[in-house]
Amino acid sequence: MFYKEIFSFIAIAITLAAFIPYIREIFRGTIRPHIFSWVIWGVTTLLIFVAQLEDHGGVGTWPIGVSASITIFIAYLAFIKRADVTITCGDWLFFIAALLSLPLWYWTSDPLWAVILLTAIDVAGFGPTVRKAYQFPYSESLLFFALFTLRNVLVMLALENLTLTTLLFPAVMLVLCILMMAMIAYRRRVLFA
């Protein structure tokens, strides 16, 4: 199963290729990550990584672990740079609901239920970013979401144990990345019309 390691290393390279320019653009001020989304994504991705390891996801989980670490760093950057200071009541609702839901994963003795709950929380984390990107479609990177779409395909190909526990998160993230790209591209066209 050497090819799974190759897929995993390529997925890690794509993860870095997506994050490095994204982080660079944060420092330049052209990308403004929403702190609530990135805190939620960092925590849930880390916990999903642990659950996937427990379900013997093997090398296919490595890119998720790398992603979790970098996502937590971006949450930190969003905080120190005060990248997006526009926080609505809806953003607070998504954030509070996600944080209050986090302990639920702990009480499940089954990694599948943990991944289901954490993936749902991660999806809720998209709420503030979707709202922000809809209003300001140039505040997010199409390339970032395109690279993560490809990354998630490679993660699924690299998984050593193909179960709902290991496949659910990357599959859902793949779909969400495609939807984000479509929404951002649409909004950019509408703004120029």
Tell me the per-residue pLDDT of 51-88, one tens digit each, with 9 for 90 and over: 888 888 899 999 999 999 999 999 999 888 765 556 77
Average of per-residue pLDDT values in the chain: 87
pLDDT digits (tens, 9 = 90+) for 139-178: 889 999 999 999 999 999 999 999 999 999 999 999 999 9
Q: Is the pLDDT of residue 133 over 70?
A: yes
Which domain covers residue 134, as residue numbers? 2-192
pLDDT for 86 equals: 67
> What is the total count of domains within the chain?
1
- Does residue 139 contact residue 84 with C-beta atoms inside 8 Å? yes
Spell out the long-range contacts of 54-57 with Cβ–Cβ below 8 A and sequence spacing 24 or more. 54/111, 55/111, 55/112, 55/161, 55/163, 55/165, 55/166, 56/160, 56/161, 57/159, 57/160, 57/161, 57/165, 57/166
pLDDT cut 70: percent of the chain above it? 92
Flag whether pLDDT at 37 surpasses 90: no
Averaged over 174-193, what is the pLDDT?
Answer: 94
